[in-house]
Amino acid sequence: MQFLLADKLYQIEESFKQMFFGSQDIGIDLGTASVLVYVKGRGIVLREPSVVAIEKATGQLLAVGEDARRMLGRTPGNIVAIRPLKDGVISDYRYTEMMLNHFLNKVLGKRLFFKPRVMVCIPSGVTEVERRSVEEATLHAGARKTSTIEEPIAAAIGAGLDIGRPYGSMVVDIGGGTTDIAVLSLGSSVVSDSIKVAGDKFDEHILRYMRKKHNLLIGERTAEDMKMTIGSAFPRKETLYMEVTGRNLISGLPKTITVTSDEMVEALEEPVQAILETVHSVLERTPPEISADIFERGIVMTGGGALLYGIDIRIQQYTRVPCFVAEDAISCVAIGTGLALESLSSFGRGTRFYLSGNRSEDFFAD
Ligand SMILES: Nc1ncnc2c1ncn2[C@@H]1O[C@H](COP(=O)(O)OP(=O)(O)O)[C@@H](O)[C@H]1O
Ligand SMILES: [Mg+2]
């Protein structure tokens, strides 16, 4: 009863704040490839690559996000463009913090009153210490309260799965650095696995294929372009062609050749196979009742890597379980992070299972 009353008061207070000061709840997807910010009531307000540009000698931050990404592979000797979350772990804590700070300031501006509550979704490889540092960085940047949420849970909520019920569902999130696979029931993960094979590995294999098969050295950006344009995990009904320019390794001169989508299937076979095997191993470890639920409901795919043509077909063929790519797969995690906040506000204090760590109580105490 006391809880109910407190919740009601809290809701009234929140609506007042919203009326006069705009939204107070923010969800951030701190991804290895991109950072997305979701603001309650406004949707996705920021979408930028997780890249920072640094002056080598001084360590000074020169550019963040899209501005920094343009410098990747094109920087002169004294500037480096780095991805602080590459491979799904915080490889550089200081730059991750600076980047997060920059994006939050961009979204929040200068606020003196009614600082927002911020929920951050962190990559699965992040350690406890790194998780805390992310929370601290968020507080530094002006959050009133902060907490972190596990990626598969955010992805599932964002994909529209009702994970609070005692019914099994499976999410495969293919991001930049990692593929995270989780079987969820009653709001938490029952079985999960994560491998460092995802979008970046796809690019790497395309690069390697071009070097071996065509003696052509291409850049990372070109490889990613190829993946998005003609990349395929399964042969397309109609073969696509793309002109690709790189440096011929024999003559040392620029050269343009035509590459087909069928070649991409060959180039991507190894990483695709690795993902299939991991999905399989998670299914193998899933309790039978939950397996039956998944079989009925299907596997849901999220993350940018899920957009690789045919990856859903391959998973479906390999596991014999129906597989779907979620609507707006790239934004799923950010939306789910924001929605988790919303459902937490309306459910009140009972919904602890959405959060990682044990900080949910602090999160609500004002
Ligand atoms: N249409 C597409 N086809 C294939 N891969 C894509 C497509 N769009 C984005 N990607 C890839 O998705 C990855 C980023 O996914 P995202 O979910 O944003 O990653 P993260 O959560 O790690 O930040 C990148 O490797 C990018 O190249
Ligand atoms: Mg992600």
How large is the average pLDDT for residues 334-359? 61
- Greater pLDDT, 23 or 340: 340
Tokens 């050269």 — which residue? Answer: 255
Bridge partners of residue 351, in order along the sequence: none
Query: Region 100-118: what's the mean pLDDT?
Result: 80
Mean per-residue pLDDT, 110-117:
72
Residue 102 scores a pLDDT above 80: yes
**Residue 34 CA: which ligand 1 atom is closest?**
23
> What amino acid occupies position 182?
A
Taking the C-alpha atoms of residue 268 and residue 286, their distance in angstroms, rounded to an integer, is 28
pLDDT of residue 357: 44
Angle at 90 between CA 277 and CA 154, to 5 degrees: 60
* Pair 117, 143: CB distance under 8 Å: yes
Q: Is 158 in the pocket of ligand 1 (CB under 6 A)?
A: no
Q: What sign for the dihedral angle of Cα 81, 123, 155, 115?
A: negative
Spatial contact of 236 and 261, defined as CB atoms under 8 Å apart: yes
Give the pLDDT confidence score for residue 9 in this predicted structure.
Answer: 62
Lowest mean pLDDT among 34-48, 124-138, 240-254, 287-301: 124-138
Encoded tokens for 336: 């789910």
Token digits of residue 204: 């790497």
> Is 105 a residue whose pLDDT tops 50?
yes
Residue nearest to atom 4 of ligand 1 (CA): 308
Residue ranges of the chain assigned to CATH 3.30.420.40: 25-48+91-155+331-364, 170-196+278-325
Query: What is the predicted pLDDT for the residue at 350?
Result: 40
The amino acid that residue 139 corresponds to is L
**Shortest-distance atom of ligand 1 to CA 85:** 22
Q: Could you tell me if the CB of 124 is within 6 A of ligand 1?
A: no
Into which CATH architecture does domain 25-48+91-155+331-364 fall? 2-Layer Sandwich (3.30)
In the numeric block, which tokens belong to residue 328? 């707006």
| Beta partners for residue 216, in sequence order | 248
Distance CA 267, CA 95 (A): 33
Going from the Cα of 142 to the center of ligand 2, the distance in angstroms, rounded, reads 24
- C-alpha of residue 305 to centroid of ligand 1, in Å: 4
Q: Which region among 37-41, 192-196, 206-210, 285-289 has the lowest average model confidence (pLDDT)? A: 37-41
- Whose C-alpha lies nearest to ligand 1, atom 9? 304
127-166 as b/e, with b when 16 or more CB fall inside 10 Å?
eeebbebbbebbeebbbebbbbbbbbbbbbbbbebebbee
State the distance from the centre of ligand 2 to the C-alpha of 32, rounded, in angstroms.
7
pLDDT at 165: 87
Mean pLDDT in residue range 274-300: 96
Q: Is the CB of 225 under 6 A from ligand 1?
A: no
Distance 216 CA to ligand 1 centre (A): 24
Least confident residue range of 19-23, 42-46, 303-307, 329-333: 19-23
Output 83 or 307, whichever has higher pLDDT: 307
Structure tokens given for 107: 């979204």
Nearest in space to 161 (alpha carbons), one of 277, 326, 310, 48: 326
CATH of domain 199-267: 3.90.640.10
Answer for the pair 29, 324: CB distance below 8 angstroms, yes or no. Answer: no
β-bridge partners, 242: 259
Percent of the chain at pLDDT > 90 equals 57
Task: Report the distance separating Cα 324 and Cα 298, nearest Å.
Answer: 7
Q: Residue 126: CB within 6 Å of ligand 1?
A: no
- Looking at residue 199, what is its pLDDT? 96
What residue spans of 23-92 are helical by DSSP H? 66-69
| Number of the ligand 1 atom closest to the C-alpha atom of 33 | 23
β-strand partners of 306: none
> Which pLDDT belongs to residue 79?
85
Minimal-distance CA residue to ligand 1 atom 19: 175
Q: What is the pLDDT of residue 109?
A: 73
Q: Which of 75-84, 228-237, 255-264 has the lowest mean pLDDT?
A: 75-84
Q: What is the mean pLDDT of residues 153-180?
A: 92
Q: What is the rounded average pLDDT of the residues 66-93?
A: 81
CATH code 3.90.640.10 region(s) in the chain = 199-267
Residues near ligand 2 ion, CB 5 Å cutoff: 31, 175, 333
What residue type is assigned to position 86 of the chain? Answer: K
Kindly report, residue by residue over 172-216, the tens digit of the pLDDT: 999 999 999 999 999 888 999 999 999 999 999 999 999 999 999
Question: What average pLDDT does range 235-253 have in this prediction?
Answer: 97
Q: Judge if the beta carbon of residue 226 lies within 6 A of ligand 1.
A: no
Cα(271)–Cα(198) distance, integer angstroms: 8
Whole-number Å distance, alpha carbon 232 to ligand 1 midpoint, is: 14
Task: Tell how far the Cα of 259 is from the centroid of ligand 1, in angstroms.
Answer: 21
Of the pLDDT bands very low, low, confident and very high (cuts 50, 70, 90), residue 298 is very high
- Ligand 1 within 6 A of CB of 88: no
Average pLDDT value for residue range 310-329: 97
The topology (CATH level 3) of 170-196+278-325 is Nucleotidyltransferase; domain 5 (3.30.420)
Q: What is the mean pLDDT of the chain?
A: 86
- pLDDT band, very low/low/confident/very high, at 356 (cuts 50, 70, 90): very low
Q: Is 31 in the pocket of ligand 1 (CB under 6 A)?
A: yes
pLDDT of residue 363: 53
